[in-house]
Chains A and B, each alone.
Chain A
Amino acid sequence: MVLAYAGKKQLMLEMLGKGRELANELEKELTAVIVGDENHALAEEYIQYGADKVFLIRTNQEMFKAEEYTQILTGLIEESESELVLIGSNKDGKELAPRLAAKLKAGCVSECTDIHIDDGDIITERTIFSGKAVAKEKINSKQGIITVPSKTFDPLDADTGRNGDIIEKEIMVDPSRSKIIDVKEMEHSGVNVEDAEVIVSCGRGFDNREDIELAENLAAQFKGRAIGCSRPISADLNWLPEEHWVGLSGHKVKPRVYFAVGISGQIQHIAGMRDSDIIVAINKDPDALIFDNADYGIVGDLYKVLPELIDAIENAKT
């Protein structure tokens, strides 16, 4: 059996797309798991997108805690004799998968970019060394646990005629000793850097939050644009929400053009944008690493370069 779990619907649909292919190759069933709400409509949808079976789990568990979800999934994996478990690689999934793997004494591969079956073996690919290399690995344990990042695989087209089983279950967990005492939602801008055609990305070279407007004005010259940023702009300074953060620990983007403005080009940033078609760097330090990773660059003060660049592009268009 191939079992798939992600807390987010879109990611789950993508995983079901790949999961279907893997289940066919293994000649096994594909099972989706929904925890916590008795959402029959969602279960039906998962079947239309490729699942043979959906476990709808009722539980005493409230908000996500890896300790408790580990108990729920371990039971389901053992009962369904799943050999391949796909977990959505968001923050929850990334802390759940290894915990689950420890419980099952299983191999776990994080953030796979490809999965296939070779002679019955599960073979995975993932990037390592901040994007400098790709590791091809084989899972040798009875069960294999794999986390799948969003936008890695495509969902199937929905097939409204597909049939499948919805199985309701009640699983009570031993509550964790930990307690969630507060949840603060962060500001959202609703931007999706992963789909952008042109990204203007801001780094510590910007002196103030307000100055990001300069980047926005440059971006405004293009269609399908988005503002990106380096980790410190989001995580340290809180100038932009997490949705804009590009890099190893942020979003992986592949636009047609990526402008890196006031970004030094540390490898952890490069890891998130190295698949861009064209990289343009603007930095006042001629020795900045970003120039090694750029197709075009201007050595100069962004406060001088950006206004002129915006004007020049505007003129070029007319």
Chain B
Amino acid sequence: MNIIVCAKQIVNVTDIRIDKKTNKPVLQGLDNKISDIDKNAVEEAIRVRDEKGGKVTIIMVGPSEATETVKELLAMGADEALLIPWDQDYDYHVVSELLIGGIKKLGDYDIILCGEASLDLFSGQIGPRVAELLDIPQITYAQEIGADDEKVVGDRNLGDSIVTVESSYPVLITVTKEINEPRLPSLMDILGAANKPIEILEADDVVSEVSSPTVETIDITGVSMDRKNIIYEEMPVGEAVSKLVESLGKEGVI
């Protein structure tokens, strides 16, 4: 079973500050990480491979220095990785074409796994776009999958219902964060991953012509979240409660 996982490197969204003067989010100097749900996708890929045999390949379109975060996924247990360096604006059309270019270079595959969405932009476009460009079925929002020799079954969580879908291979699956608990690699795993191959192919190597972006960012403005932050602590519960009720009374909500 050949499994490909599309992974994205993002900045840690929790740490983003809004610059008070410019009212812009400050993205410089933040830690990079693999988008959380992509790790669930990698975990699931490893689980299926360990059961059925085969290999897990990571593919990423991302900054050239992303080899560092990709290594974490190899340490988790993925077998190899392909990085297509891309430092320009992240356009879903362009990125999905680059991913397809890379996937075609990788050869045969049975399952392509993605996270439901990335944690920074939360659009969830890459999975369905890749599935369409490869003309294969998509099973999105999978909270459980069972892979067989001939077919895979996925439970899709649609919020108001759970839809169980079956498909033959190849198929693209996007997973939710509830599907598993991604493993934390041990020191041994991290050392062992140092020798696993990370291939680097330039955009020009995977597509004959890089498309121009379909969506252009005009402006990004920060949304401030100034709150009163009146916290009642280090006092008996009764006292804290009466202070809160008094405040809510003044706000006119009681």
Assess the B218–A182 pair: CB atoms within 8 A. Answer: no
Assess the B138–A296 pair: CB atoms within 8 A. Answer: no
From residue A132, how far is it (CB to closest CB) to chain B in Å?
A: 5
- B interface footprint on A2-40 (CB within 8 Å = 1, 0 otherwise): 000000000000000000000000000000000000000
Q: List the one stretch of A77-85, A133-141, A161-169, A201-209 in contact with chain B.
A: A133-141
Known: A294-B231, A297-B232, A300-B237. Contact between A128 and B220, CB under 8 A?
Answer: yes
Assess the B168–A177 pair: CB atoms within 8 A. Answer: yes
From residue A266, how far is it (CB to closest CB) to chain B in Å?
A: 8
- Residues of chain B within 8 A (CB-CB) of A230 are none
Rounded to whole angstroms, the CA-CA distance of A138 and B219 in the bound complex is: 10
Say yes or no: is B247 at the interface (Cβ < 8 Å to chain A). yes
Rounded to whole angstroms, the CA-CA distance of A109 and B123 in the bound complex is: 8
From residue B234, how far is it (CB to closest CB) to chain A in Å?
A: 8
Assess the B120–A128 pair: CB atoms within 8 A. Answer: yes
Assess the B18–A133 pair: CB atoms within 8 A. Answer: yes
Assess the A235–B157 pair: CB atoms within 8 A. Answer: yes
Assess the A106–B124 pair: CB atoms within 8 A. Answer: no
Assess the A101–B240 pair: CB atoms within 8 A. Answer: no
Residue of A nearest to B18 (CB): A132
Assess the B230–A297 pair: CB atoms within 8 A. Answer: yes
Q: List the one stretch of B40-48, B63-71, B80-88, B159-167 in contact with chain A.
A: B159-167
Say yes or no: is B238 at the interface (Cβ < 8 Å to chain A). yes
Interface of B is mostly: mixed
Rounded to whole angstroms, the CA-CA distance of A179 and B156 in the bound complex is: 12
Known: A188-B160, A242-B160. Contact between A95 and B140, CB under 8 A?
Answer: yes
Say yes or no: is B58 at the interface (Cβ < 8 Å to chain A). no
Say yes or no: is B9 at the interface (Cβ < 8 Å to chain A). no
Say yes or no: is A67 at the interface (Cβ < 8 Å to chain B). yes
Residue of A nearest to B10 (CB): A129
Rounded to whole angstroms, the CA-CA distance of A197 and B226 in the bound complex is: 21
Specify which of A134, A176, A183, A298 is in contact with B241 (CB 8 Å cutoff): A298
Residues on B close to A: CB < 8 A? 13-14, 16, 18, 24-25, 91-93, 96, 116-117, 119-133, 136-141, 143, 153, 157-168, 171, 176-178, 211-223, 225, 227-234, 237-238, 240-242, 244-245, 247-249, 251, 253-254
